[in-house]
Amino acid sequence: MPSLTNPGSTDASSPNATLPNNTHIRRITAADDPAVANVIRTVMPEFGADGPGFAIHDPEVAAMSEHYAAPGHAYFVLERDGRVIGGAGIAPLAGDVPGVCELRKMYFLREARGIGAGAAMMAVCLDYARGAGYRQCYLETLTGMDAAASLYERSGFTRIPKSMGATGHFGCNRFYLREL
């Protein structure tokens, strides 16, 4: 797994090395919960993803650190100058799908877009998933999140025709899967 204990790492193999100097990725803490909830509640409406069937209504949004503390779960935040401006997580895919994790709640405020944060965060999440023993990674999104879809495809995800598992996010209409 990339070095996350030293957020300022300049190791060229670390995803943090590709980010601006004042920006890094680290594991979430309880103190980050309000900021992460704000990111999710700010970004999702930008893409019309604030109605029923979207992750913005998941109970975990208010306490992400608690929900991602279990084995096989991890949530990472993107921090710039001490302020959380994005995040993403990995957790087992709901619905008893052995060996498959889900990339969850990957959202970035506008100021975090276009700086390499998506690719860096993806690398951290997929490295965690591999290390946790997952064989595949699933994600769901929706039409209109075109930059995200492009990132997923560049990261080795393939679009699949229907949803997997039991996420409860019936508002999503694009589904992706990647071998790990």
Task: Give mean pLDDT, residues 79-83.
Answer: 95
Does residue 9 have a pLDDT over 50? no
Does residue 4 have a pLDDT over 70? no
**What confidence score (pLDDT) does residue 17 get?**
66
Quote the mean pLDDT of the chain. Answer: 87
**What confidence score (pLDDT) does residue 177 get?**
98
Q: Which residue has the higher pLDDT, 51 or 153?
A: 153
Task: Give mean pLDDT, residues 77-91.
Answer: 97
Q: Which residue has the higher pLDDT, 76 or 96?
A: 76
What are the beta bridge partners of residue 107? Answer: 87
CB 99 within 8 Å of CB 134: yes
- Which three-class secondary structure state does DSSP give residue 68? coil
Percentage of residues of the chain with pLDDT beyond 90: 64
Q: pLDDT tens, 13-55?
A: 567 768 888 999 999 999 999 999 999 888 877 787 776 667 7
- What is the C-alpha separation between 113 and 108, in angstroms, rounded? 6
In one letter, which amino acid is 67?
H
In one letter, which amino acid is 113?
R
Q: List domains and CATH numbers for the chain.
A: 15-137 (3.40.630.30)
pTM reported for the whole predicted model:
0.87
